[in-house]
Structures are given as structure tokens and as C-alpha cells.
Structure 1
Amino acid sequence: MAGSQFGKIFHISTFGESHGKALGVVVDGCPAGLSLSEEDIQEMLERRRPGKNLKMTQRKEGDKVEILSGIFDGKTTGTPIAMVVWNEDQRSKDYGGIAHAFRPGHGDYGFFAKYGFRDYRGGGRSSGRETIARVAAGAIAKKMLLELGVSVRAKVIELAGISLTEDRQKAELLAEQKILSLREQGDSAGGVVECLVEGLPAGIGEPVFDKLDASLAKAVMSIGAVKSVEIGDGIEVSKSLGSENNDAFFLMEEKDYESEEKERDAAGKDSCPHSLLEGTTSFEGKLKKGSNHSGGILGGMSDGSTIRIRAGFKPTPSISKPQQTVNEAGEEITIAIKGRHDPTVVERANVVVEAMTALTVLDAMLENLSARLEYVKRAYRR
């Protein structure tokens, strides 16, 4: 099948199904010399691993990653990095009763219409378990970005219709109670994940068809349960006036700029982590915005401020309530889905948003190295 590859320079190709032997990814384009271990990958995989509480599927998977190639003496070699996670707790018999039914809210009918054949066990390639490969690759991208002074972090800001942005502890308790109640009813809920990219220099992203916001939207929208993506103020800007939506630019005072430099030094970071990407302007790194309605992207390129992305997740379509559908024989039937399913995917999906964002941003940064002759000269200066 087409469509299992992502990225131009930092390129990944994923494989595997929910109830197959394993899931995996091959990462190509990672520069040599990056310190990397299975523990680095495992840390992110733990955040999406199932069975950790009652709000998640009770499928018990260790999700232990094995790095098969591309690493020697703890560093990347510049060759393809192959990683695999073996499935351990498949229970395919749970799907026997709906093997020929098109489950509402799933990709079953699309796969059948396209290929004339499909893997009905847990959705096969369209299962949320497919995201293991994305997260494994994203862990490498995140580590590489940290070397460049860029951080990517995501969190759930709305769950089951309950906002978590104020009095988070109380809101999380209410959301948990609602999710557990929905689980008992055989139902499910969605939510919203917000992802922030900080430390990205201005000018990253390609104008016109490969705009950074367009690339991010495609990357995040490719996650199976995502139904909406917003950058900055998103749909709300349609209600604003130009005078309200435009973010004013200003220059930082010298003392504030020096304070930021000292903070970087205290944190043990290079004073200028993007030296290769430095421009020729006298105010490089000192230009700031009074607001950030744009979400850190203007004209399809980063503007140096925090990039803010929000992803809207639909409720888990696998529910045990009876549902009307049609089978492959063209008969109308009623089904009740069995198996172990998340009453919400949102809590495990925030790390997937992080991964896809990191993959997109790193790929754009690597592509940007050819934007100016001076960048190329600096890279090959002898």
C-alpha cells in the first residue's frame, strides 16, 4: 500500500498491523553522531503504552523497542535506523463475530472499497496501535531537536467536553469520572491536545505548497483519530478584525536580550544554538511579538515565537453499545463490538501529536539548510 512514508530528508517508513507479529519503522536521513539508545525511544513509548489505568484499553503490551540497525557504540551511524516492537497480547477471536461487518466510525468500508480485502482484526493497519512506529521515530526527532535548542511538548487541554486549562486537578478528576462512567455505559469520548514548539528560529518552512503550518496540519491530521487541526487562534481568527488579529512586532531591550542569553548559559546551552542559520540582520534573535494569534507561523514560515497547535480527537469508534451497520453481503445488521478498547484515546495520543510535530519540524529545519548560499558555505567551510 502507498502512504506509509513521511518526510523528505528525515524520512520514515512504517509497517505492521494491530494483530500482526510486530510494528516497526525505518528512519533514514538521521545525521551520524547523535547519541541514541533503546531507553531514549522507550521513554516516549511508555507514554502511549496501553493498560496503565481503567481509562485505557486493558490490552497488556510491553511495547519494548528493539533497535536493529543504524547505531554503533551508542551513536547513530548515518545509515537507516530500523526499529521493531513485537505484539504480545493479541486476542483476534474477539473480532470473529464482526469479521464481515463494516464497523461504524472505522476505516473498514474504505479498506474494503479500495482493496477488496481487509484485515478485520482490530482494524489492521488503521488501528491506533500503528502509532507505535510514529512515536519511535518521533523520539529520535525530538532528541535531535533538543541538540538544536528546540523543544516539542504536548498536553491534553480538553477531555470528554471538560476543559483542563483552569484548576487542572479538579477538572481532571471530573473528566476521569465521566470517562469511567462512559466506559460502564459502553460508550466513549474525545478531546483536544495542544502542542507547543519552542526555540525554533524564524524562517523555517517553505513558502507556497510546503508551508510549515500546512505540513504540520497534514502530519497531525494523519493521526487516525484526529478530525481537526488548528494553528494559533485557529477558526477564531475568522471572527476577528485585522487590527485585532495582527501581532505587533517590537525589539527586545538589550537588558532583556542579555537576560535570555544568561539563562541559556546557566542551562548549559550554546548561546546561539542556530549559528548555521543566523541571518545578517542586526536584530537577529531580538525581534519579538506583542501577541501570538498566528501561532508562531507567518507566510508559511516560523516567526521565532512559540508554535501552538491544537488537535481535536473524535471519540473512540469501538464501543460496545449496539450499532446499526451493513455487512459485506449487503445485509443490514446490528453489532455490539467486543474486545479491549480505550474509552478515550486522547490521553495516550498526546505523545503521538508530539512525535508527528517533531518529525515535521526537524525535516523542515534540515531542508532549510539549503535556503541560502551562506548556510551551505558555513556547512562546508574548511
Structure 2
Amino acid sequence: MSNSYGKLFRITTFGESHGPAVGVTIDGCPAGLEISAEEIQHALDRRRPGQSDITTPRKEEDKVTILSGIFEGRTTGTPIALVVNNKDQHSHDYSHVEHAFRPSHADYTYTAKYGTRDYRGGGRSSARETVARVAAGALAAKLLHHHGITVQAYVSQVGTVKLRKPYYELDLSQIDTNKVRCPDGKTAARMIGVVEEARDSLDTIGGVVSCVVKGVPAGLGEPVFDKLHAELGKAMLSINAVKGFEYGSGFEGVKMRGSQHNDQFYTDEEGNVRTKTNNSGGIQGGISNGQDIYFNVAFKPVATILQPQTTINDAGEEITLQGKGRHDPCVLPRAVPIVDAMAALVIADFLLRQKANKL
């Protein structure tokens, strides 16, 4: 099982949803980076359950404990270990699926691969694992901030309700002003209505999280197999419930001709190389070109629904299964900080790799 990500800024996550704790080790973070437990905690608070009535009612505090690698508010250059204890567990909520394969979950595939599985909340396949990613992402984001780089993700679509404005027309400081994390109040209200309708129908709904990365210098990314957009895609597709990734013009770009799609270069008043448009999404040839990087991440509806469904058990017998317990009707509001974290981890790793790339 692959539990590590990154080349120079490298993380390894551990733990299960109903085990004692989840956590992460971070290797390669430069010494001298100012970081506090409060900054890491702020990122975790944005991901934690129980934030509003459109998220799971579980009440995990997700309090982070720093075990190593940070001393007197600064990184020491040694491995950083962060742990978050699991507290609000209702393992008995999953006793009915001990021998059942839940539709669209990893129950069957984990059993096929390992011959066993932790049925309590999905164990390692649970989105609870993303706590560790968000904790590590807080350090990556702080490293990027030191270099003038910002990462901002937000909800741009829930079901058929879509935010029509491009990111550069939005006030991204408004992302956290509503419980769905859409930076447009009127659209957010409609999105919340869709989530509430799904929840009241004992159902779930999916959507899209968009992300923009500003301040990235030209030159990040590696030729051929470690292209910047390929790594961003891998990082996003590794998040639970993600079904699609597109950057720049994405699939809409196929409707355009080359004369429309090409990003023409010019030099601005400060002598910087710029492009008149940004259909490339800030990446050309797998390498950043200095423009804003922007992309979309599609999330499926949460697989656990509180309605009866037909499935089979581990004996191959057909059964009827109904979800129980406390689950999100829509994962999007809590997915925003996860997208933030994974984007920050990718850019931080490439930033360090670029520093070793030329004299």
C-alpha cells in the first residue's frame, strides 16, 4: 500500500478511521520555517466534522499534537510528526456491514486485494485519513506563503447549481463566509438548498471544488513523467470521492480552435513575461509559466445513503442494505481544505525540487 507522497517535501500518513489516531510524518521541510500549532489547528478546524447542519453531526475535535520536528515555533529540519486522536467513534454503527459490500465503497476492492478489511467506517479507505493530509498541508502552505504563493479552493458547483463567474471575478476572501464555502452569497444559498434537500431525502449530492494558485514562479514542474499538471491530477484524484480533474480550459477547450486557444505572450511594464489569455491554466509543457494555476475537481455523491439498496455479502448472497450512522450529505464544504492541502503539497515539493535543478 502506498502511503507516501512527494520527492523532497515528502509525507507519509498513517492510521484508520476507528483506530486510536491518524497522523503524518513530514520529511524534507526546511529548517527555520515559522509555524505554530494554532496554524495547523486552523486548517484542521476547516476540515473537521460537525461544522454545520449540512455536514456530518460527528463531533471530532481533531486536536493536533506535535511530536517532533518543531521547536520554539520553528521547524528544525528533522522529521515532523503530527498526530490527531480519534475520539467520537461509534464503531457499532458499522456492525451491519461486517460481512456486506456497501455499494460504491472500497469494501469489495480492499477484500479482493488484501483478503481482509476494517469494516469500521472503512478503516484506511475512509476519508478520515485526509486529516493527516490537511495537517501536513498547513506546513506546505506556510512554506509557500514564505515565497509569496497562495492556494485558495472553493465550491463552484453542487449538483446542477453552478457558479458562473470565473475565479478572477470573485472575492475569494468570502470563501469561509457561508457553510458551503462558495465565495458568491446568492449562489451559495442555492447550493445550500440543494444539499438540504438531498439530506432531507436521506440522499447525497456531489459537485465541484475549484482551486486557484497564485504567485507561482515560472519553471516549476519536470519534463515527461513528473509534469506539474500530472502531479496535481494525481494528488487530487487520490482524495476520497474524487471522480475527475481538469485544469485550464479543460474539456471546454476542445470546442475552440488553436487560434482561439493559444495564449499569446507579451512583456508587461515591469519586464515580466505574461500571456494575454490563460487557457493553459498556468502550465505549459508540464512546467509553470508564471500565470495563475487554476483547476477543477469533481466529487461524486457520498456513497453512504440512508436508503435501502441491493448488494451482496462476502458469501456472495444478495442482501438489502441500508446505511446507518452519521454521514455527510455532501462532502464538498469539508473537501475544500483537503484540496487546498494537496495543492500546497504538490507546489511545495516542486518548489524545493526546482531549487536543486540549476546553478
Q: CA deviation at 1:156?
A: 0.5
3-state DSSP of counterpart to 2:211: strand
Q: CA deviation at 1:370?
A: 2.1
Segments of 4+ moved more than 4 angstroms: none
Q: CA deviation at 1:164?
A: 2.9
Alignment partners' CA distance in 2, 1:54 and 1:155: 19
State which of 319, 328, 336 in structure 2 corresponds to 1:333. Answer: 319
- Identical positions, percent: 53
Task: Find the counterpart in structure 2 of residue 224 from structure 1.
Answer: 240
Task: Find the counterpart in structure 2 of residue 91 from structure 1.
Answer: 90
Task: Find the counterpart in structure 2 of residue 378 from structure 1.
Answer: none
Alignment partners' CA distance in 2, 1:215 and 1:154: 17
Matched, 1:238 2:224: no
Matched, 1:207 2:223: yes
For residues 92-121 of structure 1, the C-alpha deviation after alignment (integer angstroms, 9 at most, x for no partner) is 111111211110111111100000100001
Aligned partner of 2:333: which letter? E
1:96-111 maps to which residues of 2 (within 5 A)?
A: 96-111=95-110
Q: What is the RMSD of the two structures over their aligned residues, measured on CA atoms?
A: 1.0
Task: Find the counterpart in structure 2 of residue 313 from structure 1.
Answer: 299
Kindly indicate whether the alpha-carbon contact (under 8 Å) linking 2:229 and 2:283 is maintained by their aligned counterparts in 1.
Answer: yes
Alignment partners' CA distance in 1, 2:190 and 2:340: 25
Q: CA deviation at 1:73?
A: 1.4
Matched, 1:371 2:357: yes
Alignment partners' CA distance in 1, 2:356 and 2:184: 44
Kindly indicate whether the alpha-carbon contact (under 8 Å) linking 1:315 and 1:345 is maintained by their aligned counterparts in 2.
Answer: yes
Kindly indicate whether the alpha-carbon contact (under 8 Å) linking 1:161 and 1:190 is maintained by their aligned counterparts in 2.
Answer: no
- Of residues 165-174 and 42-51 in structure 1, the stretch that sits farther from structure 2 once superposed is 165-174
Alignment partners' CA distance in 1, 2:240 and 2:189: 27
Q: CA deviation at 1:30?
A: 0.4
Alignment partners' CA distance in 1, 2:342 and 2:237: 10
Matched, 1:171 2:182: no
Q: CA deviation at 1:170?
A: 2.1
Kindly indicate whether the alpha-carbon contact (under 8 Å) linking 1:26 and 1:80 is maintained by their aligned counterparts in 2.
Answer: yes
Alignment partners' CA distance in 1, 2:74 and 2:338: 24
Kindly indicate whether the alpha-carbon contact (under 8 Å) linking 1:232 and 1:307 is maintained by their aligned counterparts in 2.
Answer: yes
Matched, 1:5 2:4: yes
3-state DSSP of counterpart to 1:288: strand
Unpaired segments ≥5 residues, structure 2? 166-182
For residues 140-179 of structure 1, the C-alpha deviation after alignment (integer angstroms, 9 at most, x for no partner) is 0000000011111111111122113459322211221221
Matched, 1:357 2:356: no
Kindly indicate whether the alpha-carbon contact (under 8 Å) linking 2:158 and 2:194 is maintained by their aligned counterparts in 1.
Answer: no
Alignment partners' CA distance in 2, 1:334 and 1:371: 57
1:60-99 maps to which residues of 2 (within 5 A)?
A: 60-99=59-98
Alignment partners' CA distance in 2, 1:44 and 1:165: 27
Task: Find the counterpart in structure 2 of residue 185 from structure 1.
Answer: 201
Kindly indicate whether the alpha-carbon contact (under 8 Å) linking 2:46 and 2:334 is maintained by their aligned counterparts in 1.
Answer: yes
Unpaired segments ≥5 residues, structure 1? 258-282, 374-382
